[in-house]
Structure 1
Amino acid sequence: MEDRKRDHIDLAFSSRLEGKHVDNRFDYEPLFGTHAKQKKEYQFAGKKMTLPLWVSSMTGGTQRAGTINKNLAQACAEFGLGMGLGSCRILLDSPQHFNDFNVRPIMGDAAPLFANIGICQLETMLEEGSTDKLGELVEKLSADGLIIHINPLQEAFQPEGDQQKRPAIELIQDFLQQAKLRIIVKEVGQGFGKESLRHLLQLPIEAIEFAAMGGTNFSLVELNRSNAVAAEVFNPFIHVGHTAEDMTLMVNQLVSEMPADDIKVKQLIISGGISSLLDGYYLTSIAKLPALYGMGSAFLRHAMGDYSKLKTYVEQIDHGWSLANNFLKVKQV
């Protein structure tokens, strides 16, 4: 106790919040909660999760990526999270990388897991009549479904990028008529505008993942790999897009405007620029559709080495989520 009191004296002045931002999204209600953890379950893709937290798609196809994926899978198993794999395109051409993505034995059957393919690869497979390979991929990975990522700007800026010939909405609609898979549609760092969201909400898909502005922007990743002239000309495109809060409010507005029978999508994954659990807590609370929140780079920072570092990070998120449930009241917008 003496050490703790000495710390209080030493840290009192450096811990003042004068002039610093107050988070006005919440009412803090300290009279009514306890420190006991609330036991809750969250549903996604027919599976139960104990935290509404999604490990957003990141990487695969290298030894280092294999280590990252296995650490993330272990966290999903231990803490009841869901996970989207990085692009599995390489598995269609190079099966030797399968072990980098083969995380189901680590995760167990309880946690939701989704494979991932790009819209340009889907277009090629639709043209070739080979989309059955995607079902085989999902089955081989023992995944619960497939993420289709939409990335026209990333492909445009990628030196070796693919050229999309048909609008993504047409390709997804064609695939849904053929496939018997649970589908998530996501962007790659700039999000979806209102009309894109309106059309996606009318599709019979498992979820829309925002991948909004503010997180890892894969268009910028490709520009950073490109030549100096391309980077100069195309850089303004990087600043076009929609934040996770903007998209949550757009979906809320669309849900209010559209006939209920027109809304077929089951759930949202609110991701992109979610840097803290309170961001996720707030946005999932105000969403008018059932929602998880997703993080990518925040997990990546803790998943590159020994699992214990990642475990400590997720333990703190778990504890923080319980504190938010017990002591915060979200101000509805």
Structure 2
Amino acid sequence: MEDRKKEHLHLAFEASISRAQADPRFMYEPMLSAHPNGKVKPFPFLGKKMNHPFWISSMTGGTQRAGAINVKLAKAAGEFGLGMGLGSCRVLFESDDYWDDFKLRSLIGDDYPFYANLGIAQLEKLLENKESEKIDYLNQQLKTDGTIIHINPLQEAFQPEGDKLKRPPIECIQELLEQTKSPIIVKEVGQGMGMESIRALLKMNIAALEFGALGGTNFTKLEQMRRIDISSIFESFTTVGHTAEEMTMMVNQIVEEGNIKCKQIIISGGIKSLLDGYYLTKICKLPAVIGMGSAFLNYALKDYEELQVFIRNMVDAWQLAEAFLKVK
């Protein structure tokens, strides 16, 4: 006790917080709850269950290093009861060399949601060639619950190897829904979506909308960085888009309008702190979880034990927020 008091005296002047630093989003209620007891409260999501509201967003696949990363992420999803989206599975249609990088169901287990992933350009080609059944085959082979279709027209426009879309993505999504048995999630890849795109998707029978909002990894910027021939004229396209908070507000407005079919949201893109994610899930008028890509990837590049510590800290922090914070 004496040592603790000495530490308090030593650190007291450095531990002050100004009024300007106060988080205006929450009421802090210290009287109404005991400390969390660590018990898990599973909840339904995407027809399965999750133990915690953290989604491992689609990242990478098709290289030796990516395979090792995905194994760690899948193992963590199974251990902690999280949902997971694979990186792009396009390579599986082009080569048989990478299936083991994606066959991760045994690590996750059958209880938690696990989704394959394809780009809108690949979907357009499958539909054009009348090969949409390959998506169902992909899910059967990987034992995934469905497919994430990522929408990335700006990334494709600036990618040196990019594909040019011939049709509006919304038309391809609608055609796919008419042909596949697999649940479909639709997401952007770092710039989010505006009101009309969100409205169109929420009125479709997709399993969930994932934001992929502005503020996290920006693949338009990434592709521009890969090129030495790009004009500075195009640089401003990297700042176009919508934040996760803005998109949450748009979802809420569309829900109030009624007549929606999509009833689940993965809030991802630019979530800088756990309380940012907590706040957005609490104000969202549809059931929502927090999707993170680079945060999980950062720890998956290290030892598995460090990834475990990161997730445990996320779980503990979320439970503290649920115990003592109320959204204003």
> For residues 289 and 69 of structure 2, what CA distance do their matches in structure 1 show?
22
What's the TM-score once normalised by structure 1's chain length? 0.95
Q: Which moved more, 1:98-107 or 1:279-288?
A: 98-107
1:12 paired to 2:9:
no
Report the RMSD for the aligned CA atoms in angstroms. 1.2
Structure 1: gaps (5+ residues): none
* CA apart distance, 1:218: 0.9
1:138 paired to 2:139:
yes
Q: Which residue of 2 aligns with 1:2?
A: 2
1:73 paired to 2:74:
yes
> For residues 11 and 228 of structure 1, what CA distance do their matches in structure 2 show?
53
Q: Which residue of 1 aligns with 2:245?
A: 245
1:285 paired to 2:286:
no
> For residues 276 and 96 of structure 1, what CA distance do their matches in structure 2 show?
38
Q: What is the aligned-residue identity percentage?
A: 57
What's the TM-score once normalised by structure 2's chain length? 0.97
Q: Is the 8 Å Cα contact of residues 77 and 111 (structure 1) preserved in structure 2?
A: yes
> For residues 163 and 109 of structure 1, what CA distance do their matches in structure 2 show?
37
* CA apart distance, 1:286: 0.6
AA of the residue aligned to 1:281: Y
3-state SS, counterpart of residue 292 of structure 1: strand
> For residues 133 and 176 of structure 1, what CA distance do their matches in structure 2 show?
14
Task: After superposition, give the CA deviation of every residue in 1:163-190 in whole Å (9 maximum; x if it has no partner).
Answer: 1000000011111110011100000000
3-state SS, counterpart of residue 230 of structure 2: helix
Q: Is the 8 Å Cα contact of residues 38 and 322 (structure 1) preserved in structure 2?
A: no
* CA apart distance, 1:267: 0.3
* CA apart distance, 1:2: 3.3
> For residues 42 and 68 of structure 2, what CA distance do their matches in structure 1 show?
28
Q: Which residue of 2 aligns with 1:174?
A: 175
> For residues 107 and 7 of structure 2, what CA distance do their matches in structure 1 show?
42
3-state SS, counterpart of residue 115 of structure 1: strand
AA of the residue aligned to 1:305: K
1:271 paired to 2:268:
yes
1:308 paired to 2:309:
no
Q: Which residue of 2 aligns with 1:157?
A: 158
Moved segments of 4+, more than 4 Å: none
Q: Is the 8 Å Cα contact of residues 271 and 277 (structure 2) preserved in structure 1?
A: yes
Q: Is the 8 Å Cα contact of residues 224 and 230 (structure 2) preserved in structure 1?
A: no
- The aligned runs of 1:98-247 (5 Å cut-off) are 98-230=99-231, 232-247=232-247
Q: Which residue of 1 aligns with 2:325?
A: 328
> For residues 211 and 204 of structure 1, what CA distance do their matches in structure 2 show?
19
3-state SS, counterpart of residue 273 of structure 1: coil
Aligned residues: 327
> For residues 3 and 63 of structure 1, what CA distance do their matches in structure 2 show?
50
AA of the residue aligned to 1:326: A
